Amino acid sequence: MNRRNFLRNTGFVAAGSLFVPAFMKPLEAMALDELSLYKNLVVVQLSGGNDGLNTVIPFGNDIYYQKRKSIAIKPEEVIKLNDMQGLNPNMAALQEIYDQGWMTIINDVGYPNPDRSHFRSMDIWQTGSDSNQFLSTGWIGRYLDSNCQTCKFPYTAIEVDDSLSLAMKGQTKKGIALKDPAALFRNTNDPFFKAMLQNDKEHLDEDNLGYLYKTMIETSSSASYIQNTSKIYQSKSTYPTSGFANQLKTVSKFISSGLKTRVYYVSLSGFDTHVNQIGQQGNLLKQYSEGMAAFLKDLKSNNKLEDTLVITFSEFGRRVEQNASNGTDHGTANNMFVFGGKLKKQGIFNAAPNLSDLDTGDLKYQLDFRQVYGTILDKWLDVNNADILNKKFNTLDFI
Amino acid sequence: MSAKDNFLKVKHLYNRAGFGVSYADLQKLSKKNLDKVVDNLLKDSLKNDPINLVNDYESKRQLLVQAGLYSKKDLTDEEKKMRQQIVREQNEVSRDLNIAFITKMINTDAPLREKMTLFWHGHFACRSNNPFFAQQLNNIQRANALGSFKTLLIEVSKSPAMLQYLNNQQNRKGKPNENFARELMELFTLGRGNYTEQDIKESARSFTGWMYDKDGSFIFRQNLHDPGTKTFFGKIGNFEGENIIDIILEKPETSQFIARKVYKFFVNDNPNEDHIKELATHFYNSKYDIGSMMKKMFTSDWFYSPENVGTKIKSPAEFLVGLSREFYVTYNKPQVLIQLQSSLGQYLFNPPNVAGWPGGQSWIDSSSLMLRMRIPSLVLNDGEIDFSGKADPEDEAVIALSRTATTNANANMKPKSYVNANADWPKFLDTLPKGLTPLELTEFLLQPKLNAKITTMVSDNKGLRSTAVEITSMPEYQLC
């Protein structure tokens, strides 16, 4: 029995429109001049701690082969990018993207005093905190809170998922999580849901009940806006069949239909490869690369690639030396990928990991991940990164 | 005081101090004087009934095997299987432990003790892969929930779960690890800004040698302890861990920090400094007697003032426990309770970090609110759920292992599944007085004051059952 069966007050469906309080400007009334060109950011999270050294392989370094006797990728299999580093053969789909100049690889991104717990390290990456600091808001959430010119809509940040990641939660504003715009639209058009949003001024204080109603109203208007804007768009591109590619296809639909969202968040999980890594990681990297390649080409064909920046991160890399189970254990610094049609520095951004100068068996970080965030906040989202990251981080010149 | 007035106060008390109250009990209780009701509540919670799900003997055996395997460099296939088997068993038992805790909250007849246990569960936030350690910590929090904060603090600090989580196993003479010392002051007692980095460094030395041994018992390892002189908050001495805790408790800031957190959990997200000060002073003067502070709070007039009634957002645990308790829900597949906790953002025993769940408005975003509004019809009307949620980061290894070459990513996307729960409607309806109207039921089920819209919505309702499902699906039901 679904909820509709217990609701008998169907009269409410027809009874009046939504009451939208003054402190929430109706989306429908936004001036057209605000619909200028939108720069989009897509964040791709690889959960579980992707092994960066078997993703971008330092085939030019003997130490790599010494430390990874049974799981190293042979030099002849590597997709060589220069004479030191190359891609895992399962990432063949990205070669074309790389050759087009749409991809930048940043080596050794991390933070001081790294934490090897998945949960804690993901927390640090999502909140942008120091490793001994606990923040209850995410870095994108604080961007939403900053009330900047570019982030005033309740649908400024969308996560293509059932639930919302901490990265997307601010103090006063939060992103919206949805896997299927049509389903969310249906739910917010449920007669009961609509009945709850009847003209009722009592609820519009800034207290907790007001907050609940505000969230409902925003969800409802965002759902309508997202559904009505994106439903007309039909992608002509074909995507591989995987959950990950589906998420990207949804993002592409949103971007290409001109949704005024700034930040999209998707994730792919399963990278915690302690045991028999080669097959598992290879399979995931293949899904990742094929999905990304289809996505980027789709954006290109819709003239959106120049307005889109995609970053990929994982909560940590893995130890340089393999373990006894043909896998790898939790490590520290890792590579990040940046994609887009307007990259300032294409290809490999900085020096390959130094495998002879390790911190008790782990890579030392060259760049703080908040420098990458800071660069994006400053140069792509047009806010001052110190306002979001609580201190100023030097920017990089990849964009 | 009018009978109706007392009825509302007792209802408020039981919503905040427990997980709600049945109509029948409420009627009985509200005939008593409010102070008596508070006494009753405390008396009911004298009983300490620990969770004894995880087998001590089996856990010790596993620990020994794990320790043995850990020290080996190359494992045979047999040994690898053994290790995997232990991890699998631990994961399974951890899930059972989670269900045991939430089920206990649903069924308890010592509601204040369980509510306080939930509070300490968030205050002394900890994750442990070892379900025996996790159970032990949960039982420490329950046993001392209303007792001496000092005892609670010392027992928590000596629990293997916390020693492991905050790296005190690695805290040794000459090579101090400051993690425990830092969180002890920042999150467990004094709060940020009430100590210096030097205080952390010095106290970390005092906790060197606080460890647990191979079979998971606390041990003070003299040979790893730094016996030298330490300077802590201006005092100089050969302080050991217990001395540090004593000095921390001498500082009134500790009582203020705990009182503020208790206030925000039980009274209002927006702190009232006068009321917090009242609580803190009482707590400090009672030598950190938790039960005494709780009584003080529940017997204060301000606890019942309108700005504190029906204005707090229920945590996911409060929401799920309250709903299940109210309607005598049986979960035929209790694992769904874990899925719901996780989707709503409060996966018990798996706090986001040592700071616990931030609470308040952070519980609510568009997806969690939509889900909360659907859950009552799912649970009470046996609806289906098409919500797969996210994998917990700690489950990534399991996902990695379970994934074959052909399954696609995000294979955790499940088809729709039924919550598969039964509400005991006859039992629920039996607690209600004869002739109760849908409007009166609404007044009972909701904590915020009714407004015209809700009154109109239920005014032409006929059945109590359909009214109950409707009311519990409202945004107003998210408040307590």
- pLDDT, position B389: 57
With a cut of 60, say whether residue B138 has pLDDT above it. yes
Could you tell me what percent of chain B has a pLDDT over 90? Answer: 78
Please tell me which of the candidates A6, A7, A244 has its beta carbon nearest to residue B409: A244
Task: Please give the Cα distance from B284 to B253 (Å, whole number).
Answer: 9
- pLDDT, position A37: 59
Question: What count of other Cβ atoms lies within 10 Å of the Cβ of residue B198?
Answer: 11
Interchain proximity A269–B311, CB inside 8 Å: no
Residue A8, judged by CB atoms within 10 A of its CB (0-12, 13-18, 19+), counts as middle
Tokens standing for residue B254: 């500790």
Beta bridge partners of A302: none
pTM: 0.87
Q: Which residue has the higher pLDDT, B186 or B382?
A: B186
Nearest chain A Cα distance for residue B368, angstroms: 7
Interchain proximity A48–B396, CB inside 8 Å: yes
With a cut of 90, say whether residue B94 has pLDDT above it. yes
With a cut of 70, say whether residue B92 has pLDDT above it. yes
Q: Which residue has the higher pLDDT, B466 or B254?
A: B254
The C-alpha angle with vertex B115 and arms to A134 and B419, in degrees rounded to 5, equals: 90
Please tell me which of the candidates A196, A216, A279 has its beta carbon nearest to residue B405: A279
Interchain proximity B366–A219, CB inside 8 Å: yes
Domain residue limits, chain A? 41-179+240-389
Span of A150-154, A187-191, B385-389, B416-420 with lowest mean pLDDT: B385-389
Task: Please give the Cα distance from B256 to A396 (Å, whole number).
Answer: 44
Tokens standing for residue A352: 């390959």
With a cut of 50, say whether residue A272 has pLDDT above it. yes
With a cut of 90, say whether residue A92 has pLDDT above it. yes
Q: Can you say how many angstroms the Cα of residue B152 is from the centroid of all Cα atoms in its chain?
A: 15
Span of A154-158, B46-50, B411-415 with lowest mean pLDDT: B411-415
Interchain proximity A242–B408, CB inside 8 Å: yes
Task: Tell me the pLDDT tens digit for each residue of B373-399.
Answer: 999 988 998 765 555 556 666 666 666
Interchain proximity A136–B383, CB inside 8 Å: no
Instruction: Report the chain B residue with the minimal C-alpha distance to residue A174.
Output: B365
Tokens standing for residue A95: 């070669």
Task: Please give the Cα distance from A117 to A125 (Å, whole number).
Answer: 12
Task: Please give the Cα distance from B126 to B168 (Å, whole number).
Answer: 13
With a cut of 60, say whether residue A32 has pLDDT above it. no
Task: Please give the Cα distance from B480 to B469 (Å, whole number).
Answer: 17
Question: What count of other Cβ atoms lies within 10 Å of the Cβ of residue A357?
Answer: 8
With a cut of 60, say whether residue A53 has pLDDT above it. yes
Contact B387/A at CB under 8 A = yes
Q: Which residue has the higher pLDDT, B171 or B461?
A: B171
- pLDDT, position A23: 39
Task: Please give the Cα distance from B346 to B338 (Å, whole number).
Answer: 9
With a cut of 50, say whether residue A21 has pLDDT above it. no
Task: Tell me the pLDDT tens digit for each residue of B322-375.
Answer: 999 999 999 999 999 999 999 999 999 999 889 999 999 999 999 999 999 999
Please tell me which of the candidates A3, A174, A287 has its beta carbon nearest to residue B408: A287
B residues 192-251 closer than 8 Å to A (CB): none
Task: From B241, B235, B230, B369, select the one nearest B313 (Cα to Cα).
Answer: B369
Best mutation target, B83, B318, B410, to test chain A (most A CBs within 10 A)? B410
- pLDDT, position B75: 78
ipTM of the complex as predicted = 0.91
Task: Tell me the pLDDT tens digit for each residue of B148-173.
Answer: 999 999 999 999 999 999 999 999 99
A134-155 exposure pattern, b = at least 16 Cβ within 10 A, e = fewer: bbbbbbbbbbbbbebebbebbb
- pLDDT, position B416: 56
Top mean-pLDDT range of A182-196, B47-61, B305-319: B305-319
**pLDDT band with cut points at 50, 70 and 90 for residue B72:** confident
Please tell me which of the candidates B75, B392, B460 has its beta carbon nearest to residue A324: B75
- pLDDT, position A28: 41
**pLDDT band with cut points at 50, 70 and 90 for residue B70:** confident
**pLDDT band with cut points at 50, 70 and 90 for residue B404:** very low
Mean pLDDT for chain B? Answer: 91
Task: Please give the Cα distance from B256 to B440 (Å, whole number).
Answer: 40
CATH topology of domain A41-179+240-389: Alkaline Phosphatase, subunit A (3.40.720)
B149-157 and B241-250 helices, crossing angle to 10°: 150
With a cut of 60, say whether residue A264 has pLDDT above it. yes
- pLDDT, position A200: 58
Measure Cα distances from A199 to B371, B454, B458 in Å. 23, 12, 16
